[in-house]
Amino acid sequence: MRPSSFSLPRRTRALVSPGRLPAGLFTLGLVLAGCLLLRPPNATAGTPDTLRFRTLSVVDPEGTGGEAFRILVPDGWTFSGGIQWMPDTPGLPATAAFQMSAPDGKTAFQVFPSQPFFWTNIQKILSEHPRGSRYYGREVRPVMQPVEALKKIVIPMFRPGVGRIEVKEERPLPGLAADLGAGILTQRDTKATGWGGTVRIQYTQDGIQIQERMYGVVQQILFNFASPTGTQTTLMWNAGYLVSFRWEAVARETRAAVLQTVASSFRWNPEWFNSYSRLVAYMMVRQVERLEDRERMRRILRHGGAEISEDVMGYYREHQQVYTRMAKEFASGAGWVEPYHNPLNGENVDLPSGFRGAWANPEGEYVLSRNPSFEPAPGPEGQTWTRIRPASVR
């Protein structure tokens, strides 16, 4: 099965190198790896009369050399990050890690890198690889529930030095991982499970009160082995889909629609996803502990002509559903966004609600306005705009 085309003419590209940015995602990769308690605003009341978004194509220069994912960026916001490669972790050799920030420096959408872990009851392994050490690129650590992982791993790791942090709310979200094959017996004595969760925290930054909603999914694959001394268990687990929505407390209602639009727009490129899954399979089948040869890694990733199997496309759709569920859960039914149909690419796109008109152009840009007489001007290269309408009134 071939994927639908992801190409957009002259689309903005972010040629980003793996860095040390505090951001990220991907989940288990072992096979292929808000409720904000906000009162619903009056549509997107308090937002500007005109909103603009552009489609950003983020390239993976160290791996495939092509597009890894795309996402909508609001006008004036900055993007940093990309794909980080971790070739010493066979089940999770890459993770997305990025942040998108508003001009105020306080509002942001962030994706933290997935965190891979290992645990076992085999004492010989634990004696050689005690808790806190690394085993096949994974930190040796007992498995945690998602809320516990967010509070004990994610917050200390990615929010150090912000001062006193209050946890205002915490909830398990079992439905978040429902599309990831959670609870399915993959083969005899091997079981895959997954759980989701969220926390809302509050802290002060530069004298300003900040609120932040974090989401995460814990996935594990558990292996049981019979032995003369009893059942021996090993498990590989990840804290993944680590997503953050951050805003200034007094401006929460004016930023919610934009943050939800950004989160809803995230799309992995299916061909990148296919190449990545091929590399993971290569490393795991051959029990490769580490890919020392980066050129060899790139050759595997960039080998062309491979069809995308139904299994891989199924995993792709399952992964995308997690992001969709997070964006909807963040809104908690407040109606901040609505789907518009873009006739230029035949796809629906979630955009802020409450505007009188919306337009798209072939470059993947969108404009929304409350002014009934507004018409977007042609672009510098003569790009024309096409009026788009809510999908419900097509």
Over residues 235-252, the pLDDT tens digits come to 999 999 999 999 998 766
Residues in the chain, pLDDT under 70: 1-47, 179-190, 251-254, 287-292, 304-306, 333, 394
* CA 337 – CA 334 distance, rounded (Å): 9
The mean pLDDT of the chain is 82
Three-state secondary structure string covering the chain: CCCCCCCCCCCEEEECCCCCCCCCCCCCCCCCCCCCCCCCCCCCCCCCCEEEEEEEEEECCCCCCCEEEEEEEECCCEEEEEEEECCCCCCCCEEEEEEEECCCCCCEEEECCCEEEEEECCHHHHHHCCCCCEECCEEECCCCCHHHHHHHHHHHHHCCCCCCCEEEEEEECHHHHCCCCCCCEEECCEEEEEEEEEEEEEEEECCEEEEEEEEEEEEEEEEEEEECCEEEEEEEEEEEEEEEEEEEHHHHHHHHHHHHHHHHHCEECHHHHHHHHHHHHHHHHCCCCCCCCHHHHHHHHHCCCCCCCHHHHHHHHHHHHHHHHHHHHHHCCCCCEEEEEECCCCEEEEEECCCCEEEECCCCEEEEECCCCCCCCCCCCCCCCEEEEEHHHC
pTM of the model: 0.83
* CA 139 – CA 113 distance, rounded (Å): 14
pLDDT of residue 394: 61
pLDDT of residue 252: 66
Report how far apart, in Å, the C-alpha atoms of 105 and of each of 101, 210, 313 are: 6, 11, 37
Backbone Cα Rg of the chain:
22
pLDDT of residue 32: 32
pLDDT of residue 320: 86
Token readout for 315 is: 């995993």
User: Is residue 244 exposed (0-12), middle (13-18) or buried (19+ Cβ within 10 Å)?
Assistant: buried
pLDDT of residue 132: 95
